Chains A and B, each alone.
Chain A
């Protein structure tokens, strides 16, 4: 692949830019519309920073009705729309183009209702992931999915990408924790999908919308499940001399009927990078490390950790360290959750998100190393071992055009390997623009056509988040 293409710009839209901005200005107050170049600059990319395109304008609606008005206008004017939350997408899911209007939900960040009796919160889509948990924590509840970017990323973006996180081994990903959404279609129609009850009637539109990368409509509100906080949680660090032992330890734990809340894997390079940054006390003399977290009462955690410890021992664990305090636990997680940021201090990187069956992890790790070495690149591996969701960070120099191409090629080869091993291209980051052209590696033409027909049921002209998810084909510039 290398060098992600953008579709040809719609010249008629560019020519009418001033007119379109004027129409937007007629339906939005001045503080809800950004049209000047420096203002738009802040919306030209997301966390896939190698790619940037200025949008035509940025709308910052304050209500569902304003979103509906903007969408109706865009449909009438035949303008593309790029929905945006906090812009933390690693796959370019929020990257616009010069002929598209960005609709950013950042002004819609209120928690509308907390209902502890029915254990849900109704929130606006622009609320951050962490804000939900913070709001209900004093009452003994939390919102389970916890992507690494949870301080910044919004629930709307989480729904778009069906985000996961470290703790989804036990609690599931966004789609398993969502009860309902308010969705605005391109026609400006407002749909309530799902609700306060656990099951919804008819086709599972909620399941369909979750992970649809903003191509079916714009989610303006969500009803999310709240889960009682566990009495306690404790991570333990295990260091291994071999990747095989670490991987087989994960399989053996699950095989023994134990599902910890989290099982995170880090390789030698990742351990060093994160330790340098977070000083979490990670062992530096091992090839692989697992962070395994259990929850429950003191007695339960001790019993569970004893069982896990015995399994680790049987798999030649070299160092084992149980967290002895809340502060130590926080340090251990800080190291893991800052993996991307810490790596960014060392080098530029692209973060892959392929998933493989957990039984194939040792092979996938070995081949990832081989692929990157063949391009002369370094790779750090941090990932969710319990569910096989890999995150190889391929290090490169962004100012070296050739090396950037190599990194993208290596990334593509890693993802193809994931598919070949029975996995998929993306576990939780989404396809975006990044993995769009790889979709035919996982799906047949007929399967992609079926997905596109479902998308067309919502948006026949493909105006919502265009040039994402599906291969560009002949539309490339």
Chain B
């Protein structure tokens, strides 16, 4: 039986970490728990949830800055900032389609996993939007990283280091993030029926244009339509979207006919891309997230052959979502192909047995691994926090 601690104050987090350290036990650190299926499996008897460290501490719309407790539901933050016409710039991935836990994603979980959505190429990842963090390290010390201003090079950037660290360096208690104006309008141009290499060319053309694309994705045939769809998104003020979408259309006319969707229809499409809905089913399949140079995307996918049961592209080809059999052989094939394409892969969803048998995150070079272990040591010398969730010894 797992015992879950739900500290309501920073001091209680300190107590919990110190107690665990003293007792020589380890802690599972979670936020809402929506993405506990991501990472190497662990079976600690004690779980520490930041869910009760909840609430917006500070929000200045004119500064586009917000601070909130790590356990604050993202939905609450998005609702509060939407009232002032703002949004999270990096479009964090939702967990519902892939993991189906039914829980509420939190700010802390968003930071710890650093999973940015389709706006990544133009707006950066979660790590680019995090201005500051408060955390409790494995020694039970309260450490503030960064701050609340947009530009800050005072000391080492420990805030970035903790983004995507999956709670292995500290228990996040508060985060300060940069917001962006919510676009007044959005339009998506959809070209149907392009083969993958041609689609990558189209997306490259779009992303190299001065029209400020905020999304470029390719959906394979039978992902909502019989034929493939290539999506290009433009956002901004109404008159600006019309102007740019018109000229983008002229630029890409050689790729074939397109349809233009706007408003909720466009938004819904991109939510599905963001959350990888197109490959979430069947549930027994393993799901991989591959980062790669866009120009190698089509070749990489073709090279996977039968290993890829389904796949689609985001980030103009820089992000490939792949579904495979949940097997060690498929995992080996992915790792092999990724290495050849100089990319890297994360096993986003798979049964525990597979996640125990193969590396979930891309294995770093020996030198980077040594540094990663030393960094882990510097924050959490006794390995109290999410020990081994990312890598052995980390």
Contact = CB atoms under 8 A, between A and B. Distances in A.
A binds B: yes
Interface of A: 115-120, 140-141, 161-162, 164, 168-169, 172-173, 175-176, 185, 189, 191-193, 195-205, 207-208, 210-212, 228-231, 251-252, 254-255, 257-259, 296-297, 299-300, 303-304, 307, 355-359, 384, 386-389, 422-431, 435, 439, 442-444, 446-448, 450-451, 453-458, 469
A96 B375 CA distance: 28
A208 B156 contact: yes
A299 B239 contact: yes
A454 B161 contact: yes
Contacts of B247: 297
Contact of A204 (B163, B182, B315): B163
A456 B381 CA distance: 14
B368 A202 contact: yes
B149 A357 contact: yes
Contacts of B364: 201-202
Given A140-B208, A198-B120, A199-B125, A211 B142 contact: no
A296 to B, nearest CB: 7
29 contacts: A115-B293, A119-B207, A162-B153, A175-B128, A191-B365, A193-B368, A197-B292, A197-B293, A197-B318, A198-B125, A199-B291, A201-B346, A203-B169, A203-B372, A203-B375, A205-B161, A205-B371, A205-B372, A231-B210, A255-B61, A255-B62, A355-B149, A357-B60, A357-B148, A386-B150, A426-B154, A450-B379, A453-B378, A457-B378
Interface in B238-290: 239-240, 243-244, 247
Interface string B59-74: 0111111000000000
A430 B153 contact: yes
Given A118-B294, A191-B365, A303-B239, A450 B143 contact: yes
Contacts of A356: 149
Contacts of A456: 378
B367 A189 contact: yes
B85 interface: yes
B161 A204 contact: yes
Contact of A358 (B62, B244, B293): B62
Contacts of A455: 156
A431 B368 contact: no
Interface string B200-215: 0000100111101000
Given A208-B160, A296-B240, A387-B150, A198 B319 contact: yes
Given A118-B293, A172-B124, A304-B237, A228 B165 contact: no
B168 to A, nearest CB: 8
B377 A457 contact: yes
A202 B390 contact: yes
Contacts of B327: none
Chain B interface: which size bin? 35 or more
Contacts of B374: 457-458
A227 to B, nearest CB: 9
Q: Which among A117, A202, A431 has the highest number of chain B CB atoms within 10 Å?
A: A202
B121 interface: yes
Contacts, number: 253
Contacts of B319: 198-199
Interface in B102-128: 114, 116, 120-121, 124-125, 127-128
A394 B368 CA distance: 43
Contacts of A257: 85-86, 181-182, 184
B248 to A, nearest CB: 11
Contacts of A195: 293, 342-343
Contacts of A169: 150
Nearest to A201: B362
A429 B154 CA distance: 9
A379 to B, nearest CB: 20
B292 A355 contact: no
Given A198-B315, A251-B62, A425 B85 contact: no
Nearest to B146: A424
Q: Which among B149, B154, B208 has the highest number of chain A CB atoms within 10 Å?
A: B154
Nearest to A306: B239
Contact of B164 (A193, A204, A299, A357): A204
Interface string B213-244: 00000000000000000000000010110011
A205 B182 CA distance: 31
Contacts of A191: 365, 367-368, 371
A359 B63 contact: yes
Contacts of B62: 251-252, 254-255, 358-359
B208 A203 contact: no
Q: Which among A207, A254, A357, A442 has the highest number of chain B CB atoms within 10 Å?
A: A207
Contact of B155 (A119, A141, A451): A451
Contact of B153 (A161, A252, A439): A161
B210 A140 contact: yes
Contacts of B368: 191, 193, 202, 205
B56 to A, nearest CB: 16
Nearest to B294: A118
